[in-house]
Amino acid sequence: MAAFDVTVSPHRDQYVVGDVITCSARGFPTPQVEWSRDSGDVTVRQSNLSVSEEMMGDDNHWTCTADNELNVEPATISVQFTVTGTD
């Protein structure tokens, strides 16, 4: 069975430095999850994406990809958000 039900939590339009965005997916066998910036310059090979100072501004387009060995095509979810300084 392919990965399905890919979700991002919390899903917001704006985050602050220090927030953690989690991507999860259900499937069998259990899918592996990774984040990649749409510009192609950063990949995070885990389900948690930590919001850092380097992300400040409004050019944050990220895609979470879930895949397992039975997938013909990975499942994805894309998010776009802005980052501000800490509260």
Domain ranges of the chain: 4-84
How far is it, in rounded angstroms, from Cα 66 to Cα 74? Answer: 6
How far is it, in rounded angstroms, from Cα 66 to Cα 76? Answer: 6
Contact (Cβ atoms closer than 8 angstroms) between residue 24 and residue 64: no
What's the pLDDT score for residue 27? 86
How far is it, in rounded angstroms, from Cα 37 to Cα 72? Answer: 22
In this structure, CATH architecture of domain 4-84:
Sandwich (2.60)
Successive 10-residue mean pLDDT values, the chain, 87 residues: 79 95 91 93 95 88 92 88 83
What's the pLDDT score for residue 47? 96
